[in-house]
Amino acid sequence: MSEPLVARRGGPLAGEIRAPGDKSMSHRALLFGALAIGETTIDGLLRSEDVVATADALRAMGVPVTEHAEQWRVVGRGIGGLRRPDTPLDFGNSGTAVRLMMGVLAGQNFQAKLIGDASLSKRPMERVLNPLRDMGLQVDGSESNAKGTLPLTITGPGDLVPIRYVLPVPSAQVKSAVLLAGLHAAGETSVVEPIPTRDHTERMLRAFGAQVKTTDSSEGTVITVIGQPTLQGLHINVPGDPSSTAFLIAAALIIPESKLTVTNVLMNDTRTGFLTTVTEMGAQIEIMNRREEGGEDVADLIVVSSPLKGVSVPDDRAPSMIDEYPVLAVVAAFADGPTHMAGLEELRVKECDRLDMTAKGLRACGVTADETESTLTVHGCGPDGTVNGGAEVETELDHRIAMSFLIMGLAAEQPITVDDGTMIATSFPGFNNLMNDLGADIRATGDCTA
């Protein structure tokens, strides 16, 4: 059942908040813990629907995964030690969970059926399946069509062949799936990245004890994993998610007189594109208390509402902020002059066609937006203009579209409604309450008075 939400303009945002745990690292902490020997404990794990889907899938394959208070515990079964599931593995809306799990399942000697919700079942899986087939994975084919979408039945051979794979498009998920499969293959498996993507898999695998080498070549960065290691369980403290933090930063920047402190934010260089871009636009953001936790750079941010100017965002920055473009487009609507964003073709194969849905939402709210196959130009309304708002924005069950336009509604002249907010819990559970605690006004439409 859908839950329309409305956001309306109010007073400034103020307060201090700890960023929600990073979703990418939360998935990986659970998966790598399952492949290790011994116990892995995890603090700060994001308890979103996407991450819970990973935990449930591991439980279905015989991995003890428990939660006590705010700490999670995984008792690993070792490389190749998972058990055949008795029922299909349901990944809900999580593309990260299912794609990374394909790499793990490629190294198991059993068959498994993978399913997801209506949105996930439309998303492409061939980019992951192609290299895994080269390693020996058997794919029975989609039971819905021939395009490599869910549902899928896959069979691991139990004896994978190592490969050297050049990524045709930047994708941390494809890279990670191949490296995870490579853990189960004798010898060296390498992935070549012409354009760097987020490197959490490499960092965390090293922490668990895997041999992972990174070298430069004429083709790009080469990441090589040595197969059949013995991973050791460890303790992981998951830092705050930069993609979730982007919504908090955006709201503080565009709502006048706001000032927020966001603590424990992941500052990995492959994830800071949004922060770099809004700083170029004139954002007042102070980076405090830089430190290293669990092999990752972490810091606290103080964000103050700021006059912003339009900028041109280069296409090679896209991998470091691909999930943040919808909310960047919202920020750009309040800037002075146009903001041009390039290299956005990946947005067309997310939970929905995010590029198209972002452009449509902007136009519905009175903002001029020009869209091509891989670019978006937003013509900002500042400093003397205003964003009208006053629209109901379609989300197509995309959590980032929903949150982005709710943020816009907090600064627009008229309230903005999104047609459904239930899917926000897939990545940012408690979003509405958290924002309201800081001074926002986001509520179900049934709770609003005329």
Judged against a pLDDT cut of 60, whether residue 146 lies above it is answered with no
Query: Mean pLDDT across the chain, nearest whole number?
Result: 94
Q: What is the CA radius of gyration of the chain?
A: 21
Q: How far apart are alpha carbons 34 and 301 in whole angstroms?
A: 33
Judged on CB neighbours under 10 Å (0-12, 13-18, 19+), 390 is middle
Query: Which strands form 152-155's sheet, in the order they lie side by side?
Result: 89-90, 111-115, 152-155, 138-142
- For the question of residue 336 being annotated catalytic, the response is no
Predicted local confidence at residue 309, as pLDDT = 97
User: For the segment 13-32, what is each residue's pLDDT rounded down to a tens digit?
Assistant: 999 999 899 999 999 999 99
- Domain assignments of the chain as residue spans, ordered by start: 5-21+239-447, 23-237
Please tell me if the domain spanning 5-21+239-447 has the same topology as the one spanning 23-237. Answer: yes
pLDDT score recorded for residue 112: 97
Task: Categorize the per-residue pLDDT at 246 as very low, low, confident or very high, splitting at 50, 70 and 90.
Answer: very high
> Has residue 446 got a pLDDT over 80?
no
What is the distance between the alpha carbons of residues 357 and 347, in angstroms, rounded to a whole number?
A: 10
Q: Which amino acid is at 275?
A: L
**Residue burial 149-166, b: 16+ Cβ < 10 Å; e: rest:** bbebbbbbeeebebbebe
Q: Which of 22, 90, 199, 323 is an active site residue?
A: 323
How do 89-90 and 111-115 pair as beta strands?
parallel
Q: Look at residue 350 in the predicted model and tell me its pLDDT.
A: 80
CA-wise closest residue to 409 among 330, 342, 310, 319: 330
From the options 3.65.10.10, 3.40.50.1110, 2.60.120.10, 3.40.50.300, give the CATH code of 5-21+239-447.
3.65.10.10
CATH topology for 23-237?
UDP-n-acetylglucosamine1-carboxyvinyl-transferase; Chain (3.65.10)
DSSP, res 101: H
